[in-house]
Structure 1
Amino acid sequence: MISPNTCWLTVCMCHKKTLLANLKGKGQIKHKTSMDPSTGDGSEPVCKKAKLEIDDLAVVSAVSDPTSNITPNVSDYAQVTSQADENVEATDHIETTTEADVSPSHKPLTEVEAGITEYLNPNTGFRAIIKQRYSDFNVNEIDQAGNVVRLTDMSVPAEEKPKEDPIPKVKDIDAKIINEENRSKLEALIKSEDKSGRVNIPAPDAKDLRTQIHLVVKQSYPQLETKTEEINGQKMIQAFWRKGKTRDSRRDEWPASKRSCRFVKFVLYKENKDTMDAIGLIAKLLKIKENVFQYAGTKDRRARTSQEITANRVHPEKLVILNKLLRNMGVGNFTYVEEPLKLGQLLGNRFTIVLRNVEASKEVIEEALVSLKSSGFINYFGMQRFGTTSVPTHKIGSALLHGDWKKAVDLILMPRTEFPNKMKFQKIWQETGDAKKTLQEVPRYCSLERNLLQGLERKQQPITALERISRNTRMLYVHSYQALVWNHMISRRLVKLGHKPVIGDLVLSKNNSSEACSPVVVTAENLKDYSIEDVVLPLPGHSVVYPGNEVHEWYREMLKEDGLDIDNMKRPQKDYSLPGAYRHIVIVPVDVSWSHHQYDDYTLSLTLSDWDRLKEQRLPEPVEKGKFQAVVLEMTLPPSCYATMALREVLKLDTSAAHQASLNIT
């Protein structure tokens, strides 16, 4: 399952089964111990070609070479983490959100409102709790080579550690240019921890001699800068520490054997944090921009997850220090690569999920899980896609697609009772519309709202101020609207036309192995060649074709009800001019397995995370006759497929946070 903070990359691909073909071919998924450079280009296909909707939200903005000092900002850590943790659960405990926590006029989206109404299989469901603890939900990315990404090593390879800048020997410097006394002062400055020190060298009258001194200091002591100053009436050449690291000094610390590799790839392990929040915290501590980091897709917040990240010219020695600072996060498995990760450069995700407080016989459980393994589930976009607050993300997306920039701003800043720590500034904005006054109450960690309000404070138009929000987040909003339409269309398609292909459906050809395969329209002649697993539906956009049956008109009707024209999906603003994509309506997971467990204490973990394995922790001893029953389910899904929707198919239960909270027990 992919977290709500995701968007789409529209790429040309053939049938979904190719995504996991090498996983099945291997027989056993390899565990990730080393990482190879990614090779995909993430380019967009030609119009009207099949674009398979996949997971993304890699950093797609231009990759910059950081120019600031990237020593971790330890002094900022306590404040950053303590503030940020107000938005997430500090410990692993039962989720307590209930319907009573939100106002009657603004409630989180329900499954029915999100178009999630149907089931694929007729098996009997059973009662169970999903994510009673975030440690019950474990996600490991699968890279393009079919390796399960795991955090297994948190050290920096010895041969890759940066070498300290050598201090030149006295004999290496021409005594005619800088005498021994001044050389000793320069060496003392280099060895000193006091970065505010200065060395003043009397400046010769001849300009060429002064130039030589500047050059010798620069070449011999790259850590220092020089300038000519008049001090007490005498002209002096003053040497002092550089502010931050220059491009040259960063190159000096980069391993000579890795000069062709601009990027470090590493595994990010996180608990109970969104991917973008985790990256934001890392960037804050290292005092660099977030777009230095790239990833193939975001992972769930309320989970324990491992995924690959690339960083532009950030040495592992800097990153590994974070392991001493970060709570519930870790980095490791460092390697140097030539290219950054791009959105969609993954084969899928490996899930290990604990279903707690299961109330069913083993026969009922087995029947449901066997059905999932053999027949799959409806590939709905899960509730996470639409956010968990009283302002669903698709409403903001709809405002953006309509070009109603002020409405989009107001929705983003609308009070949400789910986050009481934000209510004060949100109410100020709602009541006054005064950006300056609102900014005074915005916590530092609310970077999205702060960036938006700073633009408004500078008298920027709403459309310009919105651009201060990361492109990834803005794409989340509009793609959420696409997802809502898709969910409603697939439910109506299954109700009206059944669970088999029909004439006019769109399928992705099994036989076309090229990356630029067009969707095939099902006809009377080829109907027998396809199953429901081959059928795709488009996400609305200007570069997709629609089914050649009544489904096309259903799209037109729904968009018209929302004030949108299916034939006019291009926008003057490129970011909101959506090409669309194709998504399979049914997914069959691979490498599915499960086990039954008994337990008494819900606070004890029933699965091991990468972090647990690094610390050589063990699971508690099995309980033969416990008070409660649990099922541990493992499966692999393609990108952008929601594990909660697979669980919904098994349990026949509402997967919304409010409903799951009502099932919790203590």
Structure 2
Amino acid sequence: MEAVEMKSVPLKRPHSEDDVANAEEIKRQKISPKLKTGNDSEQSLETVAEQPEKPLLEDMKNEVIPNEINEDQEDEELEDSDEDGDPESFADMMKHGLTESDVGITKFVSSHKGFSGILKERYSDFVVHEIGKDGRVSHLDDFSVPVDDEDPSEETFTVLSEEDKQRLEELQLLKNKETSVAIEVIEDTKEKRTIIHQAVKSLFPGLETKTEDRDGKRFIIAYHAAGKKALANPRKHSWPKSRGSYCHFILYKENKDTMDAINVLSKFLRVKPNIFSYMGTKDKRAITVQEIAVLRITAQRLAHLNKCLMNFKLGNFSYKNHPLKLGELQGNHFTVVLR
């Protein structure tokens, strides 16, 4: 018998070219309706999304309109309140400036047309001169120191050496860390020591003196007056009997309240503020001239403050036996600048 070789043959029937073309056309037909339905669904979604826009706009319009109505109502209410005469706040007044009616001025002495201006823009625009009980207007025009019979003699000004004067001045102005200055007494007599004591107190107001023995020598020790005893009784031990107990003077000050000025003076003089008296307090934001009285402080000590203080001047010194009292004045003379 002959052997026969068997080859595997595929069971599928081969497609012709026409069959392939027909299959592709069928696929196209199936896909195209899907695309159409997809487009239709997108369009339907777009229409659904577009439809709510109209009512939203209408709602927004409805919301805006009430707001406008509310604003109109508020304006009408404000107009009504203005017509009713409701008072403005201080901030509103300051926007357009204060008028006469704002501060209660309703009538005028003169009939001419008024004018506007700025009051006290600078402290120098407001100058006050005190008028005393006798009608005299206070002016600062004399810086001299009064001299009486019990003032120090000429020898008082020559007993100290230039070196001692330099050291005492530095101590007085607190320019160094020394708390005292020792001056040796060459001729140890009571008269000599008295002259040195008078010289230190007269030439350097604010300093006190005492006598000490050191290594068998006599020294005059100068130091700043301090302590309760010195503050309570300022210079009481050396005050002449023939001199008035109160030193009256004219105080010129700039941009300072009267009490602030008194506190500054008492601090530099190392005394309590209650030994000062005056007839009235003056404005802070101004240039003021007034009379002040102080108990048992010499004119020399007060005049020395003109070298130490700024925006203060003291002068027209005199000694009297009485202090000043509040209200003992006729009034004040004002010089006002309007800008």
**How does the TM-score come out when normalised to structure 1?**
0.27
When Rg is computed on C-alpha atoms for both structures, the one with the higher figure is 2
